[in-house]
Structure 1
Amino acid sequence: MTLLTAEHRRNVLHAALVQTQDEPLLVQIRGYNERRRWFRVKLERVDEPDSSICWRGTLEHMEDCNAAGDLSKALAESREHYRWSFELSPQVPWTAGPDGSIQEVGPRWFELTGMRPDQALGTGWIGALHPDDMERTIAVWTGNLVSGAPVDIEYRVLLRDGGYRWMRARAAPRKDADGRVVRWYGTLEDVHAEKLARSALSESEERFRLAIQSARLGIWDFDCTTGVRTWSAEFRNMLGISADQPATTELALSLVHPEDRDRLKQMLDAVAQGTVPLHFEATLRIHRADNGALRWIRSTGWTTRTDGGALSRIIVTYLDVTEERNAEERIRWAATHDSMTRLPNRTLWQASLETLAAKAHKQGNRFGLLMLDVDDLKRTNDALGHDAGDALLCAFAEKLSAVAPADAVLGRLGGDEFGLIAPTIDSQAGLESLSRDLMEGCRTPVAHQGRLLEFGVSIGGAIFGDHADRADDLLKAADLALYASKRGGRARLTMFHSELRAEAQQRTSMIHMAREIVADRLVVPYYQPKVDMRTGRLLGFEALLRWRHPRLGIQLPGAIAAAFLHSELAVALTVQMLESVTADLRFWLRKGLNPGRVAINASPADFAQGDFSDRVLDHLHRMDIPAAHFEIEVTESVLLDNGGDQVARAMRHFADAGVRLALDDFGTGFASLSHLKQYPVDVIKIDRSFVQDVERDEGNAAIVDAIVKLGGSFGMEVVAEGVETRVQADHLLALGCMVAQGYYFGRPLPLEATRALIAAQE
């Protein structure tokens, strides 16, 4: 072999390796005189009886021209064969001795690594290994040299461009008859792309596994071909079952809530019939196998099918959404209930009313409805704080629940308003009986922080089928009845009747008319004199609201009485009165006339604005009106409806600025003595109901006498209203009342008619 060139020596070795020779080999052999001659080599494998393998062949010298031509062709074929077998092979062939030292390596090694093949011989190839792969590769190679087992290992090889590439080295040993390794034959294959793909897949699977774990997803995997079901560890933990329990349909069904079991059966039947959609979702309840706890599980499934359309695989993910469902329930409950009384709110209560009304209308049934207002809640809030008011509302809700029928639907509709729907009460007598029980229960005060809170309830009732055939109409009817109860003195039940609707229509008409009056600025003040009954001297006026009808002329305020209970319109009417009265005051003063004090009436809605006193005093300043000429009259409704610090601050602000405060209709309200002590009142006006027949009615005379003495003890001026006769005036004077107003001293007058009256006093 030493006489052959390196190239031809490789050809002969390759022929021996492949163990077959279809064509003779053409080789050059160096002779004694260093001359190279061409020979044709034929090889034949011979298996000896002792199991050894040897090669037998012939060597034929190629001399003549024809032979030379054949030689040339054979040489070209040989080179092409070698090129296709070695140079163009994607693999790098190599051989090694029994001790593992590399004896031969294919030419692609140099192309890949830049390391010459002779440098790779022995253990030189190790220098091309990635440092991180070196120890592992040597250990495997060494171990297989000892065991004689085939080698299959992947490692990174340093390329000529300085980068590394994954290669797969595989080799098998050729052994002799005694089983000793004669030589190793192997290949080195580029598997870089495949390795990266496998790594990417592995990383993707690991990310998926971690995502599944972090998302707390359980997986149910069903192979439709084999029928094998696989439950992931997370899914088993979700169900509360051990890892060794078989994943069976029976087990799954046994854990599902009975009400949801049919849905799961339908899904399993769809699987069996092959009708499962490509994507499906469902939420089921289960009882955990280990502790029986009820859990909500949301499932999301995907299916794959064969080219023929048959189901091949179903994967379902499961997520425990119990906490999410509980949170949703809490949110839903909060959206439909009052958090303080824990009763349904208006939205849920009214939806229940509409449902019951639709059912009753269809079946021809009747049922009762009550609308309820807690009396004196605002006074409790103002006097004791909102904590006390909240305690009162909760106590009322408990009292209402205690007397309500078992099937009643209760609700807190807002503020101090409650509602009760009674499906089994279909008569007025039934509603009256329930209301009596409730009002009786409300007579017991509520204890709160060492105080007893007293309250009552105003109730309006209506019967579906008698008073209305629709939910909204029934609600309107009960509302009208409740409004009548509150206007009638509170703490009572009023059942709906047709006159209430007529009154409501009248109030609506008044409100509409008042809006037009405000918009068109039709308010006109008329002035009623206040006089000293001892001397007849004019002390001032009370400005009374009138309005000018486009066709009918001046009208009394009774035509728009409902507007004074409407917060927006009441304020707007007061604003127009204030503007007109101050304009008239400025007119009188610029004319050199002294009208005394002019009073205007303020409503509860005015004080509810919070800045009422600031607005009035600023207006007086802009109009250059001295406060000594101005007076504010309020009724006890202002103090009752708005009480507390807000009204007190406004009244003190007026008093500090020199504006006098008069308490109108004194004696007809509640707790008047406490108001005289609490607020800076300058004037008490005796209501006209006590002035009438004062000369003949001893009771009225006694009340007037008491009020006059009370006013004197507080240092307040006392004014009698509604004085219409000389006899009444004399009797009032005898009782000590010095100031009066009424028809006897002058009817309300327009601005033009007051000039002469004022001038006469000069």
Structure 2
Amino acid sequence: MDFPLPDNEAERLAELHALDILRSASAEALDGVCVLARQMFDVPYACIGLVNEDRHIFKANSGWGDTDGTSRAHSFGTWTILSSETLFIPDTRTDPRFASNIYVTGPPHIRFYLGSPLALRPGVNIGSLCIFGCEPRELRPGDLALLSHLTRIIIDQFRLHQANQRAKRELEHRRASQCLLETQSRELWRRQTLLAQTERMARVGGWEYDVASARLSWSDGVFRIYGLTPGLEPTTALAQSYFPSEARQHFQKRFEAALRTAEPFELELPFINAQGHHRLIRKTCELETDGARVLRAFGILQDITEQKEAEQRMWHMANHDALTDLPNRGLMREKLDLAVRRARRASHNVGVLLVDLDHFKDVNDTLGHDAGDALLVEAARRLSGCVDDADTVARLGGDEFIVLLSRLTSPAEGMAVAQQLLAVLAQPFSYRRSTLSCQGSIGVTVAPIHGSDPLTLLKNADIALYRAKSAGRGVAVEYDPRMQQATESRIQLAARIRLALRHGELVPYYQPKVSLTNGEIVGFEALMRWHHPRRGVLGPQDFGEVFDDPQLSIEIGEQLLGQATRDMARWAAMNCPFGHVAINVSSAEFSRGHLAERVLAALAAARLAPELMVVEVTESVFLGRSMETVRQSLQALSHAGVKISLDDFGTGYASLTHLKQFPVDRIKIDRSFVQDLEHDADDAAIVRAVIHLGRSLGIETVAEGVETRAQAAYLRANGCDFAQGFLYARALPASRVPALMEGWCAADAVHGSDGPLVVAV
């Protein structure tokens, strides 16, 4: 190696490569700086280069043809980056480091050199600004100050590139999750590129003021910033006339102070150019002194309008939702933290309203994401229109919004605003000939009553929102400390169920299905029971809420399928004619995929015919994004011989068309219609209509929850095929099914008196 290395070479190279600028396009703004440097220093050559492992790569140059750099061994920049100080060589032929350099002995015959290291962090020099000529010379007063300003402009350009690179990475990350943001990101990147190309043009200029003669001079760059034709004689009055009054007074005050104290300064000032365009400029001022007397003031004028606008746009994008343009979660947390601290000092209340749109997933799944996006935008508009300017509406993600009421006069005002929001959201709106609903549920917390810090307020608002959705949706619920206990109980229950699954405490019980024609048992429904180690056998009323957890629902379903097929295999081995066994399948099990394959594999492993299995589904599984998956799974099961039963018919969201779209063999009439059919004419009419519908479509009907002979007689008289309920038997463990079948009396099932037919088996 025939060139010196800085002590921090590894760190320096890491910094250079992290900047990711070596392979970027040529920088016209940096070329403009080189041109400006040549003019200021009256030299034929200037270049801006970055020093990598073995080369000094030019990012810009003026005067030195089309060369893209030099080897590091022959580069003056190699020596410039060794120190944070300016490298000045008045005559290279007298300097042993450079006397034999190929660029000294040959073209361009460098004799004078002035180099400034370029560093984004102190001491970590990645390149240099090089100013050189063919004649030896000494520095003039103010040259180092001018060099310092030019260096700062170059570093600002590098920082802008660095910011653009960060912005690009952030935008690319967002594209992966939001299609709309992807479009906006590409548009923003396009504009950023155009902005960068515009800024690379000569938007800097130098100015000088001679104190003794009061004479002001400008470079051509200053004329361009002012929008004036170069050559006009500038005066202080002309220079100041393009600044608004306050900015003019501010600069004049700082300038007069600088002339008295010889202290340099830098200002960012509003500016109106000759074309009437409002701009923002950075103006620096350095002083040349002779003892205590200031001889000359000079500096740089830079148009930073686009740079500031780009920073503002980037901040806005980083802190706002791309679809609704509302503040995002991060900005809302900052605003909430500020509001809570202000409220603490002023002793007033802050409200947090967590809003969740009801059935938003159904809109996405049935009408598409365009409709879902339109719904979110409309909901954002309505929420924003209901609050004061001092309050904030933000989108947290998905269909969840938050409303921050920064100054409540009383805690009750939070619920009042929530009710107003519900009323506004409840109004339907039209989208492409469809009527959509923005109806929502709201959880309400008020500081400091429900929490004195943002994290607690948000957590409690989420608990209240869960309670609102559990209460039927479309309502607002204010947080109550007792809700926390319910939430903890729900979490503990889920954890206990997971433990029960591992310990085999969840087992299927079997309730018989009886033919209303001859009284024979035609099959069983497998119903999950929990053998609690302390509380005994528990039914779904004690643990049914865990089915809201998709993962738990899948695990319980797997256990039910495996245990049921093993029980069926044992009965078959005992020659017990159990008919069939029906198992309930949740939406989560369909969404997981390959349901048909798993059911058929379990039957095959137990050596059971598919005809011995019935899959029961509720109407809700027919809705949503997985509808096609449900259709394919049910068709595969039906084709293999597994019967399909539609459970709780009439209580969900399915339409009659689903009876034609899906392979349904049986309809189960929900117990809510059966239990009052003796006393409620409407329920009796519904039951009768469902039976006649099934008969018309060739679909069998099964009545659930049959408890009296009168109910059974009505069902039989109207043509219902099967019944199950306490009239015939409660759900029994698998071990008692053979005895039940052996002792069953079909005649009693048809003609016996009220009361369970099976008391003990």
TM-score (norm 1): 0.66
Aligned equivalent of 1:684: 667
Closer, same or farther in 2 for the Cα pair 1:530/1:698, shift >3 Å? same
2 CA distance for matches of 1:542 and 1:263?
87
Shift in Å at residue 301 of structure 1? 8.0
1 CA distance for matches of 2:296 and 2:590?
76
Q: Which letter maps to 1:218?
A: V
Aligned equivalent of 1:605: 588
Aligned equivalent of 2:239: 251
The secondary structure found in structure 1 opposite 2:711 is helix
Closer, same or farther in 2 for the Cα pair 1:201/1:259, shift >3 Å? closer
Aligned equivalent of 2:356: 373
Aligned equivalent of 1:355: 338
1:702-728 Cα shifts (integer Å, max 9, x gaps): 222122112222222211112223333
Give 1:415's match in structure 2, choosing from 389, 393, 398. Answer: 398
Aligned equivalent of 2:558: 575
Give 1:492's match in structure 2, choosing from 475, 489, 492. Answer: 475
Aligned equivalent of 2:225: 238
Closer, same or farther in 2 for the Cα pair 1:641/1:201, shift >3 Å? closer
Aligned equivalent of 1:662: 645
Q: Does residue 719 in structure 1 map to residue 707 in structure 2?
A: no
Do the aligned residues in 1 keep the contact of 2:205 with 2:302 (CA within 8 Å)? no
Do the aligned residues in 1 keep the contact of 2:343 with 2:407 (CA within 8 Å)? no
2 CA distance for matches of 1:521 and 1:256?
80
Shift in Å at residue 684 of structure 1? 1.6
Do the aligned residues in 2 keep the contact of 1:604 with 1:641 (CA within 8 Å)? no
2 CA distance for matches of 1:570 and 1:755?
29
Do the aligned residues in 2 keep the contact of 1:260 with 1:284 (CA within 8 Å)? no
The correspondence of residues 516-527 of structure 1 with structure 2, limited to 5 A, is 516-527=499-510
The correspondence of residues 18-37 of structure 1 with structure 2, limited to 5 A, is none
Alignment RMSD (CA, Å) = 4.0
Do the aligned residues in 2 keep the contact of 1:708 with 1:718 (CA within 8 Å)? yes
Shift in Å at residue 288 of structure 1? 3.2
Aligned equivalent of 1:704: 687
1:124-179 Cα shifts (integer Å, max 9, x gaps): xxxxxxxxxxxxxxxxxxxxxxxxxxxxxxxxxxxxxxxxxxxxxxxxxxxxxxxx
Identity of counterpart residues, as a percentage? 35
1 CA distance for matches of 2:468 and 2:283?
56
Aligned equivalent of 2:204: 218
Do the aligned residues in 2 keep the contact of 1:532 with 1:738 (CA within 8 Å)? yes
1:459-493 Cα shifts (integer Å, max 9, x gaps): 23233233333322222333223222222222222
Shift in Å at residue 365 of structure 1? 0.4
2 CA distance for matches of 1:426 and 1:390?
35
- Which deviates more, 538-547 or 288-297? 288-297
1:212-260 Cα shifts (integer Å, max 9, x gaps): 9966352436589978765322133224345434364993596379479
The secondary structure found in structure 1 opposite 2:567 is helix
2 CA distance for matches of 1:636 and 1:491?
22
1 CA distance for matches of 2:546 and 2:494?
5
Q: Which letter maps to 2:243?
A: L
Aligned equivalent of 2:273: 289
Do the aligned residues in 2 keep the contact of 1:529 with 1:542 (CA within 8 Å)? yes
The correspondence of residues 4-153 of structure 1 with structure 2, limited to 5 A, is none
Alignment length (residue pairs): 568
The secondary structure found in structure 2 opposite 1:665 is strand
Q: Which letter maps to 2:547?
A: F
Q: Does residue 746 in structure 1 map to residue 733 in structure 2?
A: no
Do the aligned residues in 2 keep the contact of 1:687 with 1:720 (CA within 8 Å)? yes
Do the aligned residues in 2 keep the contact of 1:240 with 1:288 (CA within 8 Å)? no
1 CA distance for matches of 2:238 and 2:690?
90
Closer, same or farther in 2 for the Cα pair 1:549/1:436, shift >3 Å? closer
Aligned equivalent of 1:180: none
Shift in Å at residue 564 of structure 1? 0.8
Do the aligned residues in 2 keep the contact of 1:304 with 1:314 (CA within 8 Å)? yes
Aligned equivalent of 1:445: 428
Aligned equivalent of 1:330: 313
Q: Which letter maps to 1:366?
A: N
Do the aligned residues in 2 keep the contact of 1:257 with 1:286 (CA within 8 Å)? no
2 CA distance for matches of 1:755 and 1:311?
111
Q: Which letter maps to 1:286?
A: P
Do the aligned residues in 2 keep the contact of 1:371 with 1:478 (CA within 8 Å)? yes
Q: Report the structure number with the largest CA radius of gyration.
A: 1
Do the aligned residues in 2 keep the contact of 1:546 with 1:556 (CA within 8 Å)? yes
- Which deviates more, 256-265 or 497-506? 256-265
Closer, same or farther in 2 for the Cα pair 1:290/1:724, shift >3 Å? same
2 CA distance for matches of 1:702 and 1:257?
84
The one of the two structures with greater contact order (alpha-carbon pairs below 8 A, sep at least 6) is 2
1 CA distance for matches of 2:272 and 2:247?
16
1:603-655 Cα shifts (integer Å, max 9, x gaps): 22222324434443444444443321222222233334556434333333333
2 CA distance for matches of 1:421 and 1:336?
16
Do the aligned residues in 2 keep the contact of 1:604 with 1:642 (CA within 8 Å)? no
Do the aligned residues in 1 keep the contact of 2:430 with 2:436 (CA within 8 Å)? yes
Aligned equivalent of 2:544: 561
2 CA distance for matches of 1:746 and 1:415?
46
Give 2:599's match in structure 1, choosing from 608, 616, 624. Answer: 616
Shift in Å at residue 194 of structure 1? 13
Shift in Å at residue 336 of structure 1? 1.6
The correspondence of residues 386-535 of structure 1 with structure 2, limited to 5 A, is 386-427=369-410, 430-535=413-518
The secondary structure found in structure 2 opposite 1:723 is coil
Give 2:569's match in structure 1, choosing from 576, 586, 590. Answer: 586
Shift in Å at residue 529 of structure 1? 1.4
Shift in Å at residue 360 of structure 1? 0.9
Aligned equivalent of 2:141: none
Aligned equivalent of 1:695: 678
2 CA distance for matches of 1:214 and 1:418?
42
Shift in Å at residue 662 of structure 1? 1.9
Closer, same or farther in 2 for the Cα pair 1:396/1:195, shift >3 Å? closer
2 CA distance for matches of 1:348 and 1:645?
39
Closer, same or farther in 2 for the Cα pair 1:370/1:197, shift >3 Å? closer
Closer, same or farther in 2 for the Cα pair 1:484/1:193, shift >3 Å? closer
Closer, same or farther in 2 for the Cα pair 1:486/1:723, shift >3 Å? same
- Which deviates more, 492-501 or 370-379? 492-501
Q: Which letter maps to 1:462?
A: T
Q: Which letter maps to 2:278?
A: L
Do the aligned residues in 1 keep the contact of 2:354 with 2:402 (CA within 8 Å)? yes
Do the aligned residues in 2 keep the contact of 1:238 with 1:320 (CA within 8 Å)? yes
- Which deviates more, 683-692 or 610-619? 610-619
